A and B are shown apart, each in its own frame.
Chain A
Amino acid sequence: MNRECDKIRDLIADSVTGILSPDQARQLDEHLSGCTDCRNYADALKHEDVLLTQLVAGLDTDMRNRQRRLLEALDRCQSEQRETITKWRIIMKSPITKIAAAAAIITAVTFGVHHFYGSVENVAIADILQPFLTARTATFKVTIGGEGIPPQEYDGMFMEPCRMRHTQPGGATVIVDLEQGKFVTLIPQTMQAVVLEVTNVPEDPGDLNFFREIRNRILKAQPLDDESVEFLGEQEVDGQLAIGYHIRKPGLDGTVWADSETKMPVRMEIREDPMVIALSNIVFNVDLDEALFSLEIPQGYSVTTFRRDLSEPAEQDFVESFRVWAEHMDGRFPSELDRNQVNVFMKYQQEKMKEKGIEPSVDDITQLQQTIIDMTRGFPFVESLPAESDWHYAGKDVRFGDADAPIFRYRPKGSQTYRVIYGDLHVEDVAPDELPK
């Protein structure tokens, strides 16, 4: 085939596609009239064109049925279970998800505690709870469940003053030492270490340490009175005959079961609606090697470090969290302000990564993790607001940058005016009778 024939074959292909100009068509005809090879080539491409048309026509014959099957699947989507399963299947199938699974984020989450006073001391339960207050060390299993929450569990260890270690079965180990201001996550499978360096650790950091938090809650629920404690009787719990008490106090809604004879706690369940956190296999004052709580990274691990300010978030942190949210959620604000929004955010970011169709780099994942940590910094501000602050969130349908649309308002303690945050994140003091609707 000479060079001219090669060029002509491009024209033949274009002619089958139907995009030849009149000049090109003329040139092609002239060549074909004198070149058998190219004529045969043109015939072959025309035949292939027919075959391709037939192939698609053949696929079209079943298109209606395929569409019907899809519509049936969509009907089933109206069932919540099916919808969730489908979505999970999509998530679970993604290789990007698997890549992301190799990374670890530590998010310190905290909760509020309140002071309440009772009048009648309940001696029996006080004895049962005593080991939680005095133990130097403890080991236990933590199980997290609740309605709509797939169960998780890990083995936990506590050591005075404020050290904690927990290990997910076959998974990561987290070591927390608040005196050192560090959370270290070790993932043996991928030889990765994730370090969260925390600053401004609160003076009473109980809520960053699971065991200490239970201790704090028990202390702050004291004294327990008959109204807040219900005796549940005796039954078998975790293979042991146990007596149980239900404690209902603001800040502590829990059940404790203790061995009928020794009165040592065998199980404690705390409800944080909709979550239920259960402690079982509890052993107090067991000898634990300090090395278990070492923050040293084993050799060969790659290390990623994040930072988080643990001081109580102020209004400006709250605003900043809105900014981070909107910038990463295509200019939208959260649909509502609840704990679940962290999940929504992360899920959305993952979907975005997936839709790019390329696997995120380690740097991408690291950046996302720090973003999530930054994003979660300010939102707890809203949970620190008392009911009398009359806070209200209206950001669901507001676009980031809209200076006229309010997204949040609250009245600071002792203030006559409200603080109103708008869609462009400027904040104004507004008199009650001038509040935007």
Chain B
Amino acid sequence: MHSGLPPFVITIETGFKEFRVNDRSVQNPVTWCGGKDKAAYDVLVKEHYRHVFGVCFAMLANVHDAEDAAQETMLKGFLKMRTLDDIERFRPWIVRVARNLCIDRLRRQSRRKLPVEKPAGLSRQDLDAQYDLEQAIKRLPQELRLPLLMFYFDGRNAKSIAASMNISHSGACQRLRMARRQLHQLLSERAQR
């Protein structure tokens, strides 16, 4: 006979159960987790974590969820580094991972209402304004919230938003314009209540 596989018919009932049949593949990245590679990845974390966090915050509009998602993203990146051919492509690659994870989260999110951290050193009036701002941001559509917040995370750079979102520069500018106008409208509506 012709093979060395086990003597039964495996029903791979699930897309993931096959991992359970023999999970050795999952352990492979452990070898990559060696000290040298870990040190190399720490450098990437320091360079890109803030940006990844920004993407997650922009998508999830919640600090705690964003931190969870950013951490999950970077861990996943660590485990999957070997699939990345060109380290120069790390930024767009990890951002794609982050966005996909956030999309997953948004789909299953049970809408926990966690307060956004209050920046220190602000007056009561400023804190109220911040709170209103955060609530309005949450109501912005995803495609506008992402470029708007990334604009502030990325040093007010529309070009980097365009690259990060894989859209044209004029497209990024247009979204920023619409985001500002919609945000203002949402804040005005809030003030009138």
Q: Which residues of A contact B (CB under 8 A)?
A: 9-10, 13-14, 16-19, 41, 44-45, 48, 51-63, 66-67, 69-71, 73-75, 77-78, 80, 83-84, 86-88, 90-97, 99-101, 103-113, 142, 144, 148-150, 152, 164, 166, 168, 171-172, 174, 176, 183, 185, 187, 202, 204, 207-208, 210, 213-214, 217, 270, 272, 274-275, 277, 312-313, 330, 335, 339-340, 342-344, 346-348, 350-351, 354-357, 365, 379-381, 383-384
Enumerate 19 A-B pairs (CB-CB under 8 Å) in ascending A order: A16-B180, A48-B133, A51-B130, A61-B120, A67-B46, A74-B41, A86-B79, A88-B26, A93-B108, A94-B104, A100-B14, A148-B23, A168-B13, A187-B13, A272-B6, A339-B5, A346-B15, A357-B104, A380-B4
Determine if B183 is an interface residue (Cβ-Cβ < 8 Å): yes
Determine if B55 is an interface residue (Cβ-Cβ < 8 Å): no
CA of A183 to CA of B10 in the docked complex: distance in angstroms?
11
Say yes or no: B5 contacts A41, CB within 8 Å. Answer: no
Contacts of A77 in B (CB 8 A): 33, 38, 75, 78-79
Say yes or no: B151 contacts A17, CB within 8 Å. Answer: yes
CA of A165 to CA of B22 in the docked complex: distance in angstroms?
23
Say yes or no: B2 contacts A384, CB within 8 Å. Answer: yes
Determine if B139 is an interface residue (Cβ-Cβ < 8 Å): no
Q: Which of A57, A213, A346, A384 has the most CB of B within 10 A?
A: A346
Say yes or no: A272 contacts B22, CB within 8 Å. Answer: no
Say yes or no: A71 contacts B26, CB within 8 Å. Answer: no
Number of residue pairs spanning A and B whose beta carbons lie under 8 angstroms apart:
303
Say yes or no: B119 contacts A66, CB within 8 Å. Answer: no
Of A17, A202, A346, which contacts B18 at CB under 8 A? A346
CA of A164 to CA of B8 in the docked complex: distance in angstroms?
10
Interface string of B171-191 (1 = CB under 8 A from A): 001001100110110011000
Instruction: State how many residues of chain B have any CB contact under 8 Å with chain A.
Output: 90
Of B19, B152, B188, which contacts A56 at CB under 8 A? B152
Contacts of A88 in B (CB 8 A): 26
Chain A interface, DSSP helix/strand/loop, else mixed: helix
Say yes or no: A343 contacts B7, CB within 8 Å. Answer: no
Say yes or no: B149 contacts A347, CB within 8 Å. Answer: no
Say yes or no: A383 contacts B27, CB within 8 Å. Answer: no
Determine if B60 is an interface residue (Cβ-Cβ < 8 Å): no
Say yes or no: B53 contacts A63, CB within 8 Å. Answer: yes
Interface string of B19-62 (1 = CB under 8 A from A): 11111111111100111001001100110011001100100000
Say yes or no: B187 contacts A48, CB within 8 Å. Answer: yes
Say yes or no: B3 contacts A383, CB within 8 Å. Answer: yes
Which 3 residue pairs are nearest across A and B when measured between Cβ atoms? Answer: A100-B15, A58-B119, A380-B3
Q: Which of A16, A52, A112, A379 has the most CB of B within 10 A?
A: A52
Say yes or no: B33 contacts A71, CB within 8 Å. Answer: no
Known: A41-B184, A59-B57. A108 touches B9 (CB 8 A): yes
Say yes or no: A14 contacts B71, CB within 8 Å. Answer: no
Say yes or no: A19 contacts B173, CB within 8 Å. Answer: yes
Interface string of B66-107 (1 = CB under 8 A from A): 010011101110111001000000000000110110011001
